[in-house]
Structure 1
Amino acid sequence: MPDFAALPMLVNLAIIAAGGAAVWWAGTRLAGYADDIARITGMGSAFVGMLLLGGITSLPEIGVSLSAGFGGNADIAVNNLFGSIALQVLVLAIGDWVLGGRALSFMIGHPIVLLQGVFGALLFSVAIAAVSVGDVAVFGAGAWSLGLFVASILFMWFISREESSHPPGWEAKRMPDLGPEADPRDVGLREAVRWTSICAAVILAAGVVVSQAAEAVAEQSGLGGAFIGVTLLGLVTSLPEISTLTAAVRRRRYSMAFGDIFGTNIFDFALIFAVDLAYDGPPVLNEVGVFSQVAAALGVVVTLFYVAGLIERRDETVGRLGIDSWAVVTTYAAGLVLLFFLR
């Protein structure tokens, strides 16, 4: 791995852009192969969105945050996760715009998606409490980060159990306005798994390279690791979600789109424990402060806006976006301004 700090900032920005392009290439193909796996195995699209897409599209966050943790940069490690989680919720507004004409949250007929959003907001709230009261070391990490890991695993288990309680095709019967599904492709399970693995490897490798270049940009620009973690790194590591979500919406797999975003967020909270293990120092949540709390609070608010949209299911749009998406966009923009002054 080259010494990115010795490279000019423009070169590092070009590396970040190239890594982002690689992530986008892999992400656009990932949704299609995940759809194939869901069709062949009979698993629900919401569950596949959470487990498969959510896990794989978390790989950039794994690469970035673990690399920053091993490098002793707690600001980037934690704020990349918090920033990515909040930004990924904003990504749903992009899917809303791609759909156009109808609110994306109205097209969801599966309660599992609502559960995913509620669990994500709960994990955000726990993270805020952890940063507020401080963490204590347990088993080489923090007790709060261990609790977040255990809670994330339990939530994913509970969601998988709920998904299995509904027969295949249940959502389509409940929601006749979902529209025609995309035509199934002539792809076997082995081929779908192989290409899914290739896409996952590209996403992970690009995430590691981008993390190193972004750390250098944080120093060279003077913006600081916390703000870079929430904004630039959050954007680049959210590219898989953007690409897979837009592809899922175009294929009319709306529950898969929401499941990808909310599922990725649950995975990312589990990663805080892994970062804690990688970080050579006190519990990593003790190394961050008000900035991280505000970033996490922003994630709670934007997540709950979509939870409210899923409950209300108002089929009303303004400028191609649903009311809940407009609330998320404006709140996120205001939150970024606040974070800029807190950096």
Structure 2
Amino acid sequence: MPLSNAADYPIWVNVLIFAAAGAVIWVSGGRLTRALDAIAARTRLEHVFVGMLLLGGITSLPELANVATASSIGNPSLAVNNLLGSAAINILLLAIADGLVGRKAVTSIVVQPSTMMMAALCMIILIAIAGLIVLGDMAVGPLGIGGLTIGILCLAFLWLAAGHDERTSWALKEEGAPEKRGKEEVSTAPLAILWARVAFHGALLFAAGYALSQTGDAIAQQAGLTSAIVGFALIGTATSLPELVTVIAALKLGRPEMAFGQILGTNFINLSLLPVGDWIFDGEPVVNMLGPFETLSALLGAVLIGIFMVGLLEHRDRTIFRMGLDSAAVIVSFALGLALLAGLPAQD
């Protein structure tokens, strides 16, 4: 069943395909995390590095597939709102996972300064994107100068954060070991098998992202919804499923740095895809087709990260409903931001 003409299918068929793709992302995301955790244990890679670069990069494959597909079918709003929606929803999912796993505030058990560096740099990127949407972009060939700058900054900031722990003079006093393995044992499979699993589940994530993009655009047309709402809420949530399952898995394994690194690393890599949309879309720079909805979306993501930044700096175990106070504040702030977004006009 080709998905390029998904709009011709009944809406219930598209909903089923959309749900099936989400299920694939959920299952593959968990198995991917376990494989990468085993690789980290075998190769002695830092878990923040594994979370930020490996997990973050691979779990961005659904967004890459969506940006490429949505831009190629002439719907860049769907693509960019997916990126901005995922950036905010990823932070929300970290807060939800905090309440689902353990009784300590997740920010109270993070001990590596690179996590705070990643949070600060990710806030800068989101605020810069909001400014770019307001000011507009200028095209040079197939790319927008602003979008290309954002893409380069994302990758540069990712590199800067990855090496921060080696350069910093900061040190936190810990009570006991900073990372304690949970009940789950590390796989004893050969490294070649583990890497093969990573490649296999990465391919499944990419294919599922393509299916989400095609059926999501079709559902938007058939249900009379705007691309902004579908991209931010529907596809943004679905393509963030790998982040939810991998964050829960990382926290259960006692890897809070991997959880934060994966979420923030994914945001860096997702937002670096803006030039991909410019390259594929046959028209002006994609940010020039956006408006107040997308501006507030970007600022909402920055605010949510800022709340966790405060929790990381405080580094105190203060909880409510089994989650940190900062996680609770993130959930409330996201709900308020979503209510504001629902009342804003969206450019299609």
Fold equivalence (TM over 0.5): yes
In the aligned structure 2, how far is the partner of 1:25 from the partner of 1:173?
37
Alignment of 1:27-66 (within 5 A): 27-66=29-68
- Please say if 1:213 is aligned against 2:215: yes
Alignment of 1:180-195 (within 5 A): 180-182=180-182, 183-195=185-197
SS of alignment partner, residue 68 of structure 1: helix
- Aligned amino acid, residue 288 of structure 2: N
- Give distance in 2, aligned partners of 1:216 and 1:120: 32
Match of 2:294 in 1: 292
- Cα shift at 1:171: 9.0
Does the Cα contact within 8 Å between 2:35 and 2:187 map onto a contact in 1? no
Q: CA deviation at 1:301?
A: 0.5
Match in the other structure for 1:305: 307
Alignment-mate amino acid for residue 180 of structure 1: K
Deviation (angstroms), 1:331: 0.7
2: CA distance, partners of 1:15 / 1:122: 36
Question: Whole-Å Cα distance in 2 between the matches of residues 6 and 158 of structure 1?
Answer: 46
Quote the Cα distance in structure 1 between the aligned partners of 2:209 and 2:96.
22
Rounded Cα–Cα distance in structure 2 between residues aligned with 1:241 and 1:314:
25
Give yes or no for contact 2:117–2:164 (8 Å, CA) kept in 1.
no
The residue aligned with 1:15 is: 17
| Match in the other structure for 1:129 | 131
Q: Distance in 1 between matches of 2:171 and 2:239?
A: 31
Q: What residue in structure 2 maps to residue 225 of structure 1?
A: 227
Please give the residue correspondences for 1:1-343 in structure 2 after superposition, counting only pairs within 5 Å. Answer: 1-2=2-3, 3-164=5-166, 174=174, 176=176, 178=178, 180-182=180-182, 183-342=185-344, 343=346
Q: Is residue 172–residue 178 contact of structure 1 (8 Å, CA) maintained in 2? A: no
Amino acid corresponding to residue 293 of structure 2 in structure 1: F
Displacement after TM superposition at 1:296 (Å): 0.6
2:121 partner letter: F
Q: Percent identity?
A: 37
* Cα deviation, residue 172, structure 1: 10
Structural RMSD (CA) = 1.7
Higher helix fraction (1 or 2): 1
Q: Return structure 1 stretches of 4+ with deviation > 3 angstroms.
A: 163-166, 170-175
Structure 1 residue 287: Cα displacement: 0.7
Distance 1:174 1:273 in 2: 42
Aligned residues: 340
Shift of the alpha carbon at 1:113?
0.8
What is the one-letter code of the residue matched to 1:24?
W
Gaps of 5+ in 2: none
Q: Unaligned 5+ residue runs, structure 1?
A: none
Q: What amino acid does structure 1 have at the position aligned with 2:176?
A: P
C-alpha distance in 2 between matches for 1:317 and 1:303: 18
* Separation in 2, partners of 1:304, 1:117: 7
- Contact kept? 1:94, 1:246, Cα under 8 Å: no
> In structure 2, what is the Cα distance between the partners aligned to 1:53 and 1:165?
23
Cα distance in 1, alignment partners of residues 58 and 213 from structure 2: 17
Q: Residues 103 and 316 of structure 1 are in contact (CA less than 8 Å); yes or no, is this contact kept in structure 2?
A: yes
Contact in 1 for aligned 2:113/2:165 (Cα 8 Å): no
Change (3 A) 1:146 1:328: same
Structure 2 contact 78–228 (Cα < 8 Å) conserved: yes
Provide the rounded CA distance (Å) in 1 between the counterparts of 2:223 and 2:134: 29
Structure 2 contact 85–297 (Cα < 8 Å) conserved: yes
- Verify the 8 A CA contact 2:180 2:253 in the aligned structure 1: no
Contact 1:101 1:320 in 2 (8 A): yes
Cα separation, 2, equivalents of 1:179 and 1:173 = 13
TM-score, normalising length: structure 2: 0.94
Q: CA shift at 1:38, angstroms?
A: 1.3
